[in-house]
Amino acid sequence: MENDQLIAVDTFCTYYEVEYSFVESLQNSDLIELVEVNENRFLQIPQLRKIERLIRLHRDLDINIAGIEAVDNLLNRVDNLSREILSLKNRLRFYERDL
């Protein structure tokens, strides 16, 4: 990944006012992926939307890491089911057009 797609974890933590240990906990739970370059840790910019959602779950709803894992898993399943429903609707429209 190119360096312009990375943000230093320290910078991220300062900007979002989160503890470094929280970001490490998210990584240890495989909720996010950190990239290491020259012994510095970075977040991938495309992951920011997901990380922001995880921070909101933690702050606003006071959910711990285990709860965040469960909620993230359920949200991923909902997203997958939504995409599947959309795909099935599109296929159905294709066949209804021929009637």
The number of folded domains in the chain is 1
Residue 42's beta-bridge partner residues? 8, 35
Q: What band does 98 get if pLDDT is binned at 50, 70 and 90?
A: low
Note the pLDDT tens digit of each residue in 22-80: 999 999 999 999 999 888 999 999 999 999 999 999 999 999 999 999 999 999 999 99
CATH number at 54 reads 1.10.1660.10
Q: Give whole-number Cα distances, 74 to 11, 17, 67, in Å.
A: 30, 26, 11
| Residue 69 CB partners (closer than 8 Å, separation 6+) | 29, 31
Contact, 46 vs 5, CB < 8 A? yes
Instruction: Note the pTM of the prediction, 2 decimals.
Output: 0.78
Report residue 19: phi and psi, to 5°.
-75, 145
Domain hosting residue 51, numbered range: 3-97
Q: 14-32, pLDDT tens digit by residue?
A: 999 999 999 999 999 999 9
